[in-house]
Chains A and B, each alone.
Chain A
Amino acid sequence: MRAFESIEELGQALADQRYLVDDELATVVFLALRLRKPLLVEGEPGVGKTELAKALAAASEAPLLRLQCYEGIDVAHALYDWDYPRQLLHLRAGGSSPLYSEQFLLRRPLLEALSHRGCVLLIDELDRADDEFEAFLLEFLSDFQVTIPEVGTVGGGEPPAVIVTSNRTRELHDALKRRCMYHWIEHPDLAREVAIAQARLPEVPLPLVRQVCAFVQELRWLDLHRVPGVGETLDWTRSLAELGGGEVEPDTAGRTLGSLLKGRDDLERVRGGELASLVERARERGREVA
């Protein structure tokens, strides 16, 4: 795993992976890596929490191990399990090697992360898991080693870089938060969003990108049910680019709005009346940014 000497170097490495961070996030990620603490990232849906882990893995040339949390996830899904069918077959075939040994061990993401020397471990949407799992994770995140009774203790080497994301559907335990560095990702401002979209979609002409981002920024001011994130901005930019035309037009915008807004109420609200003026303002601001 590549070690970063300075905050600027880390920021540049992430930018090379087409993930732009501001100074604050760069500092926090840098600190999490240096202090070997997990980083808890929260923010609105679509601000790039999961992408951060992917970019960090790519930037530090380390494998990414991902644990998607869901309700009912337990140790057998997250840490390790035994390969029962193989064990049964082994018994049937009259095998004599011990049943509970490395040979029959199924490594799940957490165990895998401990065995690798240096990797990025993404624990995604932890708030979806239940309290029991969170309690288990607590121990894992503070010691970075686990004991499998039949095999022994795993870990103790170089701990993985851990990124935990949460959508705040429920409050995580204080004990867990205490073990983590914390960062709240906001929606980016116009200049930054343009930079992000440009880095991600270099093939799309810049004036269009500017107008799209300005339009999305305007939308975020409206009192919508669900505000579009950067992910949706990129989708919409791609949609408009596919349809051709170097500018945001009320007509095409209205037809493709579905890649930006995911709800009937919001769609009707924007389409009904405001669209033309929004497009007009977006074009103006797009030109101003240029």
Chain B
Amino acid sequence: MGARSPEPSAADDAVLESVVRFGRALRDVGLAASVDRELTFCRALAEVDVRCREQVGAAARASFVSDPGELTAFEVVFARFWEGASLSLEAVAEHGETDPRMPGPQHGGESLPQFRRELTASRMLGAGETRASREIPSRPGEELGRGERRGVLAAWSPVEVETDRERLALAREEVAAVRRLAEELRAAAPQRSSRRLKPSRGGGRLDLRRTLRNSLATDGEAMRPVYATPSRRPRRLLFLCDVSGSMERYSRALLASLQASVAAGIRAEAFVFATRLTRVTGPLAGHDVAGALERARGLVADWSGGTRIGAALADFNARYACLGLARGAVVIVVSDGWDRGDPAVLERELERLRRQCRRLAWLNPRPGELRGQPLATGMRVALRHVDDFVPGHDPRAAGDLARLIRGLGAGRPRRRQRAVASEAR
């Protein structure tokens, strides 16, 4: 692009100011409305009819939104912007949709106020005076009143960690453990061959480009041929984790393991489900372990809710697998199989998923204490449709996960060669 065009003539001070306020309001609901996007919007305003709502709306959407999931939040703010209503924080908060303390879009009615405090994050990092501790009058130490945290919160809160029989390591060590797990996963990640070529010592196909370059040294006579072979890349690793009520005691450790996998840079994708499916890959990414866990946790509305594994898998198949996310991937479902949904749905969806992926493994974290008892319904159904079944694998034993994944490998298991759909009847 040539020289940047000067500030648009149509954008007088009033327009500019309202654009800036608009951008700020969008940031408050979690959109990435950066300054350059605001500039784009300004330039766009100069091109459209600013009296026409549709045109201004289209310009704003194209400038600020870059994901269909952001559209709802955008529309709310845009409606206010267009009506000329005040876009300041208080006004939006009073609307009942947004808690100004929280980044990211929030949904009304599903608020979990405890999680909005950054208490857990600051505790996990062992930080002293943080923004969270300033907002909450008491110091973190006093905040942890026993007996107050039940249900949803118990799965997450540090108190629960202390009372849990198999206690977790202290927060700081825990973060270190997650980092260690990421390291191990990086080494253990299954691989596949890529279409990208890398130089090799013989074998593979002739790399004409390099050969010719080298031949310049010998007066254009290609004395030494150079070869190239396909390089190796990490195979996609897909986690589908149950975080429903029955999995409560494992969910926290699971989420941490997921964070390690995503942060390891091995093309891992993380989904969690209870009654519905949430993709948490994006929020879990990054180096800040505690922050990532908090972000992901905030996204999952049905944490510790009921379980409908089949429906969650159906959701996954419909929304993500059809895009090719599961193709050639190693898929790991973590659940105890306590399913309140229809077993037929679970069966159908598992089979559909298995047809797409390279390898389908099921981890059941229920430890040996339940051995001898009949398996949960979902589990009995699942056993017939997965390639690997790993019982009694405690996700809190973080190191085991890497070993397990290395054990699964990238190889294709020997599968029964028959149409399963007909048998399901």
List A residues at the B interface (Cβ < 8 Å). 7, 23-25, 27-28, 30-32, 34-37, 39-40, 42, 70-72, 74, 76, 81-82, 84-85, 87-88, 91-92, 99, 130, 142-144, 156, 159, 167-171, 174, 177-178, 180-184, 223, 225-226, 264-265
Contacts and interface: CB of A to CB of B under 8 A. Distances in A.
B65 to A, nearest CB: 6
B62 A183 contact: yes
16 contacts: A23-B55, A31-B47, A35-B40, A35-B43, A71-B195, A84-B208, A144-B1, A159-B1, A169-B323, A171-B282, A178-B34, A183-B61, A184-B65, A225-B318, A226-B322, A265-B352
Given A7-B48, A23-B58, A225-B317, A142 B209 contact: no
Given A23-B55, A30-B47, A31-B48, A182 B66 contact: yes
Nearest to B279: A171
B322 A27 contact: no
Contacts of B71: 184
A28 B324 contact: no
B195 A264 contact: no
A149 B47 CA distance: 38
Contacts of A225: 317-318, 322, 352
B47 A35 contact: yes
B195 A143 contact: no
A181 B59 CA distance: 9
Per CB-CB distance, the 9 closest pairs between chain A and chain B, nearest first, are A72-B195, A91-B220, A27-B58, A177-B66, A84-B208, A181-B62, A169-B323, A28-B62, A24-B58
Interface residues of B, number: 44
Nearest to B36: A178
Given A87-B212, A167-B323, A181 B47 contact: no
Contact of B59 (A27, A156, A174): A27
B117 interface: no
A104 B318 CA distance: 48
Contacts of A178: 32, 34, 36-37, 66
Secondary structure call for the B interface? helix
B341 to A, nearest CB: 14
A171 B282 CA distance: 9
Contact of B324 (A99, A156, A169): A169
B7 interface: no
Contacts of B68: 42, 184
Interface in B20-68: 32, 34, 36-37, 40, 43-44, 47-48, 54-55, 57-59, 61-63, 65-66, 68
A82 B209 CA distance: 8
A206 to B, nearest CB: 28
A76 B61 CA distance: 35
Contacts of A81: 209
A255 to B, nearest CB: 22
Given A27-B55, A85-B208, A156-B2, 7 more contacts: A24-B61, A28-B59, A31-B59, A31-B62, A169-B324, A225-B352, A265-B421
Contacts of A182: 61-63, 65-66
A143 B62 contact: no
Contact of B222 (A88, A99, A144, A180): A88
Nearest to B5: A35
Contacts of A40: 66
A181 B27 CA distance: 18
B47 to A, nearest CB: 5
